[in-house]
Structure formats: structure tokens, C-alpha cells
Structure 1
Amino acid sequence: MRNNLALVLLLFSFVVAAQEAPLALKSSKNKNDISSYYTSGKKLGITAKDSLFQVNIGVRIQSRFTYINVENEDPIVEGEVRRLRLKMDGFVYNPKFGYRVQLGFSAKDMAILGVDDNGNILMDGVFYYKATNKVTLAFGQATLPGNNQRIVSSSALEFTDRTINNSRFNLDRDFGLFVEYSNEKENQFCYNLVGALTTGEGRNWTKKSNDGVSLTGKVELYPFGVFVKDGSHFEADLMREKTPKLMVAGAFNQNNNAVRTQGQLGSLLYEARTMQSLFLDSMLKYNGWAAELSYMNRNSDKPITVNPKDITQTRFVYVGEGVDAQLSYVFQSNYQVAARYSTQKAAKSIENLAADANDMSLSVSKYVLSHKLKFQMEYSYGTLKFADDLEQKTWYARLQVEIGI
């Protein structure tokens, strides 16, 4: 933890130094004084005078207060910094050679479960090569091209968090090779193709590896052209699209010999399993209205694994399906109201081990500076239905503040 703290202080000092640099370019007798070539654009960054490298810096904090009421249990009050991220991107030698780094310092970002657990701060660490205007290759650790809401940054959601189905089925981050073919056009049919060949164990995997790999492919279709300012990668119609814009997408992943219950996420299985995941998405925006509809599915042969040392202990792949639907409207005042419904059903092979779930949420947001500075209030009501027909009801109310540069 001391090493993590030292790193944060070092990077914070770098940000402060950059902010104190002059906004206008000026000459300097010291040719190595790169702070003299600070550039102020859409991002906080530094570009070398000879243009051989560039560093852009971003910081975001997501703080929340939640009141949780679980049926037949005492209420819970939580206050936490849900996300604290430091982001850096830029290029070296030539803009064709880019990179992106993202570090997470909150407890849930680092997945710290106990006092003695190591901090797991690396979220993204990836090198990009822009081979042509349409083809980009990437190597490193990044988010897999799964369902669209998972690709949308957690800072760009119209609710305080992603759906219960994203929590259960998403692919998350992984290490490997990524390929993207972009054929985007403004006002006519166009498409994007994305593929990935990765290890399959998720981010920062340091335990024993196996011979399995994960294969992912995705296609995005835009019947009426792409959204304004890449609007398919943030929720809410903040741009107030002047004509209807629609995205329809499908993705498939096969994770061979996966050793975790959710592929790239979850606890360790007692025996490796191959699993397949399917994602279907649609997003529609027009004049302040935004609608999304998503379907997710995971399948695996023999999803239940047994501890060979104690046959009474089992761990299983969550196989099943889920559907998400949400609708929102942004007023001219930049207040927004949104409603969401999610349903999740476990497959018959695990119905005695996992509950079906339903979740309904209402959200009110105030966008002060788009998704960079916003205030959100959310109420969510959910039910879990078990195989014996017993139900457990849960609701929570939450206030969240997002700020970032």
C-alpha cells in the first residue's frame, strides 16, 4: 500500500506541475524543459517541442452514499469512493503509435477482499498501432468488445452503475491482441468490426495459466450513420440528436478452458470449463430521448465443478440469460429522468444453486458539464427468486457525484 501511495503522490505532483506550466507556447534556453511546451486543448497534456511524444492526463472520482434495505435483515448505510481513476494516453515517435494507461485506486477497483491482499491497481495498459485510417491494432490489457453497456465507461452511465446482467455476464478486461476495423460515416449506413484473441483469465492474472485462449468478435451496425461525438459510447442523448440515430450490435465470445466462474471474472473453479457468451444490443437516440435494449447469454457444458478433496463443495459457471431495457429523456435544463428494468434467469442445470433476479430502477441526473460533472439520485427495487419459490426483496436509494477531467 505504501508503494501505491507513493505512486499516487508522484503522479499527482506531475499533474500539478503540468497545470502550473504556461498555457501558451514559449521559447526556453533549456531544451530539455518540456514544461515549456505545455499544450491546452480538450485534455490536460504535454507535447514535446519536436512532437516525438505526447502525454494526456485525466482524473476522475466517483463518490456515493447508499441506503440498502434487504428483506429480513438490518438496513445498511454505505459511504464510499466507488471509483478513483487516473488515466493517461498519448503517442510516442508518431501519432500512429499510441498508448493508454488507466489505474484504479479505490478498494473495489483493486479488488481488495482482505487486509493482506495485494493492491491490483492496473485497469488498462495497452499499445495501439494505427495501421490505416480504418484499421487499428492493439496489444496489452483492455476491455473486451462485449455488450455495449460494458464498453461504455462507468463515468458515462445514466444510472449510478451498470445492470445486474452486466455484473453477471460481462466479459470485462483481458490481456491479448485486439483488432478493429472502423467504417464510420455520418449520415449513411456504416459499421465497425472488432475482434480479440486473449488469455481468458482476466486482468492482471498472475496465477498458473492453461492452454486455453479466449476468442471474441463483435459487429456494430449504424443504419442512419454514427451518433454525434461518438454518442454510442455514452448514455443519455446529451447531444440531442437532430435525426434518429440507431446502433444494432452483436458479439460472441468463446473462452476455452476457463478457470474462473465468469470467465474473466469470479472465483476459481475446481476444474476448467469452456464457455460461450452471446450479446445482442441496440441503442436509439433522438431529440433528448435515449433507449437501450440488451440480451445476454452464457452457456457451458457441465457447468458445475466439484472439489476433489471434498465432494460436498461445488463451484459453478453461471449459465443462463438476461434482458435489460432502459429509457431516458434529457430536458433542455440538462436534468434527466431515466427508467430501467432487468430480468435474469439461471439455466436449468444450475437452478438449484442460483436464484433468478428482477430489478427495477429510477434515476434523476443533473449534468453540469456533460458526464464530466454530474449529480445522480437512484432508487432501485429488486427480487431474488429461489428454486423453492422463496423470494427475497431488496431496495436501495443512492446519491452519487461524478467529477473528472
Structure 2
Amino acid sequence: MKILKLILIPCIWILISQVRAQEVQLNSYEFGEGLRFQTDNGSNFNIRGYLQPGMEVKQYTSDNEFGSLNRFRLRRARLRFDGSSSNERFKYRFQIDLSGSSEAGDDTESNYLLDAYVSYDVTKRINVAFGQRATYTDNRELFINSNALQLVERSRLTSAFASIREFGLFAQGNFKTGNISRLKPYFVLTNGDGLNAFGRDFGGLKVGGRVDFLPFGLFTNFGQFRQADVVREQTPKLVIGVNYSYNNGMSSRRGRNSGAILYLNDTDEESLPDYTKYGIDFLFKYKGFSVLGEYVGATATVPDDITQRVRNDGSTSTNFDVAGMQDVQNFVKGRMMLGNGYNIQAGYLFKNGISLDGRYTRLNPDDNSFLNNATFYSRPNYYTIGISKYLSRNYGAKIQTSLTYVEGDMINDFQSNPIDGNEWIGRVQLTLAF
């Protein structure tokens, strides 16, 4: 909580100082891109946000007494504040989600605070940020804002392996390597527990990085961070990157929820597994056509001195039963997201604003991995087709629908009852930004 205050107080102070300035003027407004204000001393302040109400229907291919699952909800209701000093070297961002929905996954709690960080341009090519934000060590889809997704939802690869947001130190560079080509290195040092831990911070630190290469120069209008090719790039644009991270002592399935899974040794001291993640991905755009490809792998190292596990109620147990045997190593790994997977998706946006998109996602769990959990995972193949209608020339308004066929492997339904069959998931969503 104290660390969070260190971030919020500077953001609020900068905001108040701008409001108290002698003159604040609306500099510009573009539907879907927000309002941009400027003070008489040259400081900038931006407000933007969006709503995403939607519906989801899940149906099983086999006879099931529970039938289908229908869900109506406000998926996201986000409000974002960005600002910079008069010389634009100091910047900040504060973003909240009033819907309270988790971004993705099975062990992510609802959180209203998304981003809260301050950044500083050390040079024209190097920027350093401190606080809570989306991390650079996830797959490329996490670089894309939720209102700029090509399909209704992110791929299952993201929900399986991504930590989404983390608290710590983030550095990035932007260097020319030729006439137009660019190299963008990233470095991350975080607490390794996902979103800001309001209670005790378990485990050690997480260190990682990413290197992106753009051989044909920068995308138009931040297109590297938006999926569909709305601007219709007139020359081919490509970014390809690799990422790696090492989490020293992780207390959750993939580094999202501090203290969710704990282990002890004989002396009642914490003994936690280490988690390594790596990946390679790319994004290509040209004249309305776009392709996104991602690969992620994850492994774990389990300490030899683990003798106890902590239950949800705080009590401890020495039972590490796996297939009728005491097996600490495989028991611990069986509660983590281990294995690999890939996601490939493509689409074409016509000039009339209609986009046709398709996606295939594959998950390959290790023999001992939570990816084998029959209720949440144990579903290796995901096939998705989608149709979107963009109601504006940018991402200000759009209607999206998608249909996903999921192949399961001895799966359970949403109430943990075994079923003999696969799944169909239909989604419809409206995005309205200001």
C-alpha cells in the first residue's frame, strides 16, 4: 500500500498543479482518441475511456443437464488519464476499470486499478518508468489495448501464460539501425506478483526483457499497439520480437496473485518454485491485412526442501499425493502453468469498415501442469472466426461477434461436472470510446 501511494501521490500532485494553472485549454478532441488539454506553461493532460458491454453463450456438443451458459456483462468500463510536463520528459498514467472485471484467467481477482506509474525520458531514445503497468515480458497481444483487439477477446494463450500487469521498474529504448529500421529493447524488474500486492509480498523479484525489431520502420499512428490495420498501411510493416523472464520464488500459478500458492520447509520457512518464461512473436500489417503470431513456453524449478503446503484457510499439510504417490516435485508443478503454446490469427479490414478475422490457438501442457485442469483448461485446440463492423475511421466505435470451437480432452463443464464432448462459445460485444 505504501508503494502504491508513492505512485499515486505524484500523479495527483501533477494533476492538481495543472488544474490550478492560470489557463487550461482544450487543445484537441478526436472521437475514440480522447480529449487533450494544454496549460499555459506547456504541460499536457489527456482523458480517454471506453465501454464494452457484451454477451457470451457457451454450449457443449454432448448432452449435458446444465445446458448452455449465457452471460451478459459490462466487460470493461475504463477511464485513463495521461499527462506530461512542459518539456515532456516527465510523464504519468493513471487508469481504472469501473467494471471490476479481471482481464483473463482462472486465478485473477477483480481489480479496479490498472495503471499507475510515472515515467522519465532519460534521453530521446531511452525511457524509464516506475509503478504498475502492462509488462514487456508477456506475449505481443498484451501490447494491444483492449479496445483495439481484432476479435472480441484475447486468445487462450494470453490467459494461460500472461501475468498482464506488474509493479516495478520498466525501461525501454528506441534506436535506429538503418535508414528506417528500428530496434526496441525492453528491461523489466518487478516484484513478480502481478498487480500491486496490498498485503505481504511473497517470493523474490522477477527480471526479464524483450527485444523488438522493426525492419520496415515504425507503424502508422501507433499501429504496433493496435491489432487490425485501420489506417491501411501503404507499405508493409513488421515487428518481430523475443522475450524472456525469470521469477525467483513464485507464489501463484504464473505470477499474477501474490500468496495464492505457498510452500514451506521443515523449519516453517517459505520455499517457493522458480518460474521461467520465454517467447517469440510478430505482427505484420499491409493495406488492411494483418497477421499476429505468438509462441510462449514456461518451465519451473522446484526446491528440494519443500515438505509442507499451505491450504487456503492458512493451515498446513504434508500431503503431496500424485497418482497415489508422494511426489512433491510433480505436485508443485501440477499447480503451475507449464508447457508451451502458440497463437496465429489473421484478418482483413475492408474499406467499408467490415473486418473478417480468424484465429487458431494451441496449448501443449507438460505432463504435470495446471493446463491439464479439466474445468479451466485441458482444451488443446481453439478455432475462432469473427466479424467486426467499425463504425468510425478509428477504434472509437465497433460491433464485434465471434464463434469459437474448443476441442477438449476429458473436460468438465463450468460446474466441474465431467462431460463427453467439446464446446462452442459465441460472443457479441460493442465498443464505444470517447
> Same fold by TM-score, threshold 0.5 exceeded?
yes
Distance 2:226 2:178 in 1: 17
- Secondary structure in 2 matching 1:95: coil
Query: Do the aligned partners of 2:100 and 2:112 also contact (CA within 8 Å) in 1?
Result: no
Distance 1:172 1:182 in 2: 22
Percentage of pairs with the same residue: 24
- Secondary structure in 1 matching 2:159: helix
What amino acid is the match of 1:162? Answer: R
Q: Tell me what 1:75 maps to.
A: 68
Tell me the number of residue pairs that the alignment of Structure 1 and Structure 2 aligns: 370
Q: Tell me what 2:223 maps to.
A: 231
Quick one: which of 375, 385, 388 aligns to 2:409?
Answer: 385
Quick one: which of 320, 339, 342 aligns to 1:323?
Answer: 342
Q: Does residue 366 of the first structure (1) align with residue 389 of the second (2)?
A: yes
Instruction: For residues 180-202 of structure 1, give each alpha carbon's deviation from its aligned partner in whole angstroms, at most 9, with x where no partner exists.
Output: 11125896322101111111111
Distance 2:293 2:387 in 1: 20
Query: Do the aligned partners of 1:360 and 1:381 also contact (CA within 8 Å) in 2?
Result: yes
Q: Tell me what 1:197 maps to.
A: 189
* Within-5 A mapping of 1:48-63: 48-51=39-42, 53-63=43-53
Distance 1:352 1:172 in 2: 18
Aligned in 2, Cα 1:119/1:220: closer, same or farther, shift over 3 Å?
closer
Query: Do the aligned partners of 2:150 and 2:357 also contact (CA within 8 Å) in 1?
Result: yes
Query: Do the aligned partners of 1:383 and 1:391 also contact (CA within 8 Å) in 2?
Result: no
| Higher normalized strand content (fraction of residues) | 1
Instruction: For residues 204-249 of structure 1, give each alpha carbon's deviation from its aligned partner in whole angstroms, at most 9, with x where no partner exists.
Output: 2122224510112000011222222221211112122222222111
TM-score (norm 2): 0.78
Identify the range of structure 1 (358-367 vs 227-236) with the bigger mean alpha-carbon deviation. Answer: 227-236
Q: Tell me what 2:149 maps to.
A: 157
Instruction: For residues 53-94 of structure 1, give each alpha carbon's deviation from its aligned partner in whole angstroms, at most 9, with x where no partner exists.
Output: 432111110110122113424112111100011100012454
Q: Does residue 276 of the first structure (1) align with residue 287 of the second (2)?
A: no
- Secondary structure in 2 matching 1:374: strand
Q: Tell me what 2:431 maps to.
A: 402
Query: Do the aligned partners of 2:338 and 2:370 also contact (CA within 8 Å) in 1?
Result: no
Distance 1:327 1:383 in 2: 21
Q: Does residue 207 of the first structure (1) align with residue 199 of the second (2)?
A: yes
Deviation at 1:384, TM superposition (A): 2.1
Query: Do the aligned partners of 2:184 and 2:213 also contact (CA within 8 Å) in 1?
Result: yes
Q: Tell me what 2:364 maps to.
A: 345
What amino acid is the match of 2:59? Answer: N
Q: Tell me what 1:44 maps to.
A: 35
Deviation at 1:39, TM superposition (A): 2.3
Query: Do the aligned partners of 1:96 and 1:130 also contact (CA within 8 Å) in 2?
Result: yes
Deviation at 1:382, TM superposition (A): 0.5
Distance 2:286 2:219 in 1: 10
What amino acid is the match of 1:404? Answer: A
Unaligned 5+ residue runs, structure 2?
1-19, 264-271, 311-315, 322-330, 412-417
Q: Does residue 311 of the first structure (1) align with residue 319 of the second (2)?
A: yes
The higher-RCO structure (CA 8 Å, 6+ apart) is 2
Instruction: For residues 147-204 of structure 1, give each alpha carbon's deviation from its aligned partner in whole angstroms, at most 9, with x where no partner exists.
Output: 1101111111110111001000113111111111112589632210111111111112
Deviation at 1:288, TM superposition (A): 1.4
Distance 1:201 1:267 in 2: 8
Quick one: which of 164, 185, 188 aligns to 1:172?
Answer: 164
Query: Do the aligned partners of 2:203 and 2:251 also contact (CA within 8 Å) in 1?
Result: no
Aligned in 2, Cα 1:184/1:375: closer, same or farther, shift over 3 Å?
farther
Identify the range of structure 1 (152-161 vs 304-313) with the bigger mean alpha-carbon deviation. Answer: 304-313
Instruction: For residues 337-389 of structure 1, give each alpha carbon's deviation from its aligned partner in whole angstroms, at most 9, with x where no partner exists.
Output: 001000101102338953242100000011122222111011111122149x9
Quick one: which of 251, 256, 260 aligns to 2:252?
Answer: 260
Q: Tell me what 2:328 maps to.
A: none
- Secondary structure in 2 matching 1:167: helix
Q: Tell me what 2:77 maps to.
A: 84
TM-score (norm 1): 0.83
Q: Tell me what 1:183 maps to.
A: 175
Deviation at 1:48, TM superposition (A): 2.0
Aligned in 2, Cα 1:366/1:185: closer, same or farther, shift over 3 Å?
farther
Unaligned 5+ residue runs, structure 1?
1-30
What amino acid is the match of 1:205? Answer: A
Identify the range of structure 1 (260-269 vs 181-190) with the bigger mean alpha-carbon deviation. Answer: 181-190
Deviation at 1:306, TM superposition (A): 4.3
Query: Do the aligned partners of 2:102 and 2:110 also contact (CA within 8 Å) in 1?
Result: no
Q: Does residue 144 of the first structure (1) align with residue 135 of the second (2)?
A: yes
Distance 1:344 1:253 in 2: 20
Aligned in 2, Cα 1:199/1:41: closer, same or farther, shift over 3 Å?
same
Distance 2:128 2:80 in 1: 20
Q: Tell me what 1:106 maps to.
A: 99
Distance 1:181 1:120 in 2: 30
Distance 2:259 2:406 in 1: 24
Q: Tell me what 1:297 maps to.
A: 297
Query: Do the aligned partners of 1:345 and 1:356 also contact (CA within 8 Å) in 2?
Result: no
RMSD (CA atoms): 3.0
Distance 1:64 1:390 in 2: 27
